[in-house]
Structure 1
């Protein structure tokens, strides 16, 4: 039997001058909500490309979210395993 599971990640952006911030939110099937943030700052001599700032800030937020998910998985494995494990990375 195959089970289909899906997650939806919400991503919001805030742009103020040269700084772009991203906030990510994911709700897991176990009810856990994880939030992560990322930001970027455009150098004053760089052209104004808002999409690029969003992409970099989003990537950094998703990287933070990935780290949180790996830590959660490690803790859940460690909770049921008698063998010491190393944090996932």
Structure 2
């Protein structure tokens, strides 16, 4: 029988002139909450495209979140195997 596991991710954005910030929260099944942030700064001569700033800020927040999730998994592997985990990919 297949087991379905879920993880919830919430993303919020703040716009302030040429700056866009993103805040990301991931809730894991074990109760852990991982939080990350990303930002995008629009170059003054670029046209204002709110969606693009949000996409860049979100991508940066998610990249940070992925590093945290890999680190958590690595620590969990190491706690069982007592060997260094190699999760670079």
Query: When the two structures are aligned, how many residues end up with a matched partner?
Result: 88
Distance 2:15 2:83 in 1: 46
Structure 2 residues not aligned, in runs of 5+: none
Distance 2:24 2:66 in 1: 11
The TM-score with structure 2 as length reference comes to: 0.94
Structure 1 residues not aligned, in runs of 5+: none
Is the alpha carbon distance of 1:84 and 1:8 closer, same or farther for their aligned partners in structure 2, counting shifts above 3 Å? closer
The TM-score with structure 1 as length reference comes to: 0.94
Q: Give how far 1:6 is off.
A: 1.2
**Cα RMSD (Å):** 0.9
Structure 1 residue ranges (4+ consecutive) displaced by more than 6 angstroms after TM superposition? none
Q: Which residue of 1 aligns with 2:62?
A: 62
User: After superposition, where does 1:44-63 map in structure 2 within 5 Å?
Assistant: 44-63=44-63
